[in-house]
Amino acid sequence: MDHSSSSFIISPYPQSIKLDKTLKLGVMASGSGSNFEAIARSIDEGELNAKIELLIYNNPEATVKNRAQKYQIPSLLLNHRDFPHRKALDRAIVEEFKARDVEWVIMAGWMRIVTEELLKAFPQRVINIHPSLLPSFKGINAIEQALDAQVKITGCTVHLVDLEVDSGPILVQAAVPILPNDTPETLHQRIQIQEHRIITQGIAIASALQRS
């Protein structure tokens, strides 16, 4: 049985939004970048009217750079260890994105807490995806938190970012049932399937809300 099919999407906004204007995106990632690729693929297939102007990654070992190369998207390493503090890193990120006229910033597995340097430069235009049904299970190890709490349903959330960790207005969520024999790995795989479904929806919803 395909248990991913029992998942469902939750949002007060339409699930299908067509954008008249091409969005200029800047994406930030720290790991393998499967959500980055979901966005790039959605753009390639004509589902999302957008262009990724730049991928910034902070981990030299992050394989997301290979996905960027696959889609011929410019990428840049800004190793957080090269900066004295978070604000300095965020200032460098803002400088790179502004140089490319980026309009929306997408945190697609960005494992750093952002500061007001980024949020003031892109007010209400920074989007994050988190592997839980927020406001439950904020922070790191959200999947392990859900399993430890023995809840029956978890999921993922796309939301606008503010200064509080994993907070800000929710754009769209997908609920994923927790199965009796789930491990962090098996649950993560099913949540990731839903992340790939809703990340582009969240971007389209956020853009539509800005225009309304």
CA distance 85 to 73: 28
31 belongs to an annotated ligand binding site? no
| pLDDT exceeds 60 at position 3 | no
**Integer angstrom CA distances of residue 32 from 13, 62, 183:** 30, 6, 20
Q: How many percent of the chain have pLDDT more than 70? A: 95
pLDDT computed for residue 5 by the predictor: 44
Q: Supply the CATH number for residue 175's domain.
A: 3.40.50.170
Q: Using CB atoms within 10 A of its CB, is residue 135 exposed (0-12), middle (13-18) or buried (19+)?
A: exposed
CB 177 within 8 A of CB 3: yes
**Residue 55 belongs to domain spanning:** 3-13+21-211
CA distance 18 to 15: 10
125 belongs to an annotated ligand binding site? no
pLDDT in tens, 161-201: 999 999 999 999 999 999 999 999 999 999 999 999 999 99
What pTM was computed for the model? 0.92
Total of domains in the chain: 1
- Out of 130, 159, 188, 196, which one is annotated catalytic? 130
> Would you call 130 a catalytic residue per the annotation?
yes
pLDDT computed for residue 172 by the predictor: 97
34 belongs to an annotated ligand binding site? yes
**Integer angstrom CA distances of residue 74 from 18, 23, 115, 121, 166:** 26, 16, 24, 21, 27
CA distance 101 to 59: 24
CB 155 within 8 A of CB 174: yes
Average confidence (pLDDT) over 96-104: 99
Cβ-Cβ contacts under 8 Å for 118 (sequence gap 6 or more): 90, 93, 94, 105, 126
**Integer angstrom CA distances of residue 181 from 116, 142, 153, 155:** 41, 18, 14, 17
For residue 79, what is the enclosing H or E element? none
35 belongs to an annotated ligand binding site? yes
75 belongs to an annotated ligand binding site? no
pLDDT in tens, 30-77: 999 999 999 999 999 999 999 999 999 999 999 999 999 999 999 999
pLDDT band at 15 (very low <50, low <70, confident <90, very high): low
